[in-house]
Amino acid sequence: MNKPKKEEPDFHATHQGVLDIDGMKLLVAVLNDKERVVSIREMANALGVKGGGAYWKLKKAVPPEQEREILPEFISLKNLEPYLGEIKKELVSGTIPYKALNGQEATGVRAEIIPKICVLLSVFLYPIL
């Protein structure tokens, strides 16, 4: 059975650029509602995280209207689940599909959530000994 066709995103980038954080380059955009977002794909690439087969299988299986309920690939690791807490709600509600300046569909996460993600990942990846 084919997945229903996605609707056009309500948001589109009015500005795009690259944010360089100590050599880690992230594609960022400002949307037509003035929301600042960081590309989920770029964030995953910068962190060296690739969505595994299970992630992409799930992403393809859900109806388009439920896609936003899937956590971004860089934070969807099963062993992170117990540490997500309240940030999970922010990530799900803070994921925004948009059309990039080049016309491609993209998904971003609200820029203000990024510091919380970094703290979570740093604690998980580099626990205090």
Q: Which domains occur in the chain, in start order? A: 11-125 (3.10.260)
Strand 95-99, strand 24-31: pairing: unpaired
Contact 115, 122 (CB under 8 A): no
* pTM of the predicted structure, to 2 decimals: 0.70
Return the higher-pLDDT residue of 40 and 101.
101
What's residue 66's pLDDT? 64
The sign one gets for the Cα dihedral 25, 56, 103, 115 is negative
User: What whole-number distance in Å separates Cα of residue 72 and Cα of residue 21?
Assistant: 20
* Rg of the chain taking only CA atoms, in angstroms: 15
